[in-house]
Structure 1
Amino acid sequence: MAIHTLYPAERGNLRLSFEYFPPKSDDMEAQLFDTVAALSVFDPAFVTVTYGAGGSTKARSLTAVQRMINDEGFANTAAHLTCVGATKAEVDAVVDEFINKGVRHFVVLRGDPQGGIGARYEPFPGGYENAAALVAAIRAKGDFEISVSAYPEKHPESPDVAADIDTLKRKVDNGATRALTQFFFDNNDFERYLERVRRAGINIPVVPGIMPINNLAGITKFAGLCGAKVPEAIVTRLIHLDESPEERVKEATHIAAEQIVDLARRGLRDFHLYTMNRSPLVAAVCDLVGFERMAPAAAQSRSAGAAA
């Protein structure tokens, strides 16, 4: 098994960010903010809150973002936005609503086709045609942080990686300041992609998206829809552990930690973790890598300062 813990001197200025999704019920809301509290001890540089296609989670996203900023102390909470299922005026109104809630960081995505992943994408009548156009509209409103998506294994709708990188460059030319990648499991794929991105003259941070594997069957199906792959070596390590949940979690922790450590040793300093609104596996990964936990008093002061 690979070395999966960084030495103190290697940890340097590593930074974490976490993705959450808005809750659909009171019970899910409690779980979300229990997770936020549990992971806040790792002092993330920012957190993001997703947004359903066509504004399907608009109210819940707004509420979650507002609570993140005002109650949980995450001033740099990023609100996701998509172009799907809304006119430009409707999207602009949502942007303004987020800004009025204190948002200064957006994650701008085109969004999945209204017919679902795999369906043909068609811009909404009178809407923004793609993420690059929405980036330009938000940039025109002010000096915001704007993160966008990137795909180390190519977006499933792109004809090739070169086209994918051209799309990323248009977003950067229109004002994007950071790219957050789709999850991947082969660091060589990411390194090859990053080399091509840099050769294309794209110099913004490209932050690897890390997905700890809570459920092998679920992540394999999701990866297939997203154009990502789960290497056979990872499948082999997990597939026989379905009936041994403690061992499965331990092995999944090692897999994600090994990926982060290897990327850090290749020079990456920022990591974006997809939490699925669950803290145990993500926290175990962060601990195994060697990310420092804030003292309880410091973590509590973040929320107290927000509430003041």
Structure 2
Amino acid sequence: MIRAARYPGVTLVAALAASAIWAGPALAQTVAQDGTGPSPAAGLEVSASTDSDGTDVIKVLGRALWNFEGKDKYAGIAVEHAWFSPARGRARVADRVYLDLADSLNADWRWRARVGTDGHTVLGSAELRKADWSRSIFVERDIVETEQGLTRPIYYTFVGASTDIPINDRNTFAVVAGVQKFSGRNERLHLRGRYVHVIKPDAGLSAQLYVQYYHSTAPNEFDYFSPENFVRALPILQVRRFDANGWMYLAAGGFGAQNTTGGGWTSARFAQLRVESPRSSRKIDAFAEITYTNDSITGGPNYNYVQGRAGLTLRF
């Protein structure tokens, strides 16, 4: 079971995300989508997570954009304040500053980057992708949110690429491959695949099979979850719909199995609710989601993890 969070903000953000998911239609009626040209904007993003091991994390990020033309084109800075309360050890706080950028290379390719520092090392993420989301190259770097991860500290850098392999109008296979380098000796080799079968296109209903494998070259080096080999197979049922104003609503859930070296097979579980503002909007960028899984870098078998995230950016 997941215990009560040490920080009331964990519950607050989950409630905020849930409220935004159900309140989307009303908000959609009040936001115009016809802004044109560059304009400044400001935003706020909040995330909170808690797990069954006793780790709580809250992050609050403010955005100041001197140019905002929608989800795919903006430029500015972001400042984040984070509270970490690991299962063992004392709570810590951290501040990060990022450049917050996105634009297009041409009609086919988009890029975005949120890259900055916590005062000790480079942190953030960057992605180059096709406009239709069929291919991407990405990199992310962050701290490991465990007691040793925060104390030593331990960082990871994850570099990977993805590609879609269309079979026909209703069937697609996607592959992700990557390498995750941790502070110390451990390197994790990742391979992921997702088969998607569209059951009812008009209803946005699809059945998916998600398969994940990774191999750690220095297993169990520190206190984060890192078996030598990890395999996860998860059938998922997903509904993804758009309303008349372009707002996206997604609900997904799955139940499968996962295996770790020396640990045998256990159940694999996943659930997600998400809402997003219209991609074509030049006035607003909003999202809210709640995610549950029993797979995380900070925990292993018999583990539960819940995260709530919400964000709103408004153009002046």
Q: Calculate the TM-score normalised by the size of structure 2.
A: 0.31
Between structures 1 and 2, the one with greater helix share: 1
- Comparing both chains, which one has the higher relative contact order based on Cα–Cα distances under 8 Å and sequence gaps of 6 or more? 1
**What TM-score does the superposition give when structure 1 sets the normalisation length?**
0.32
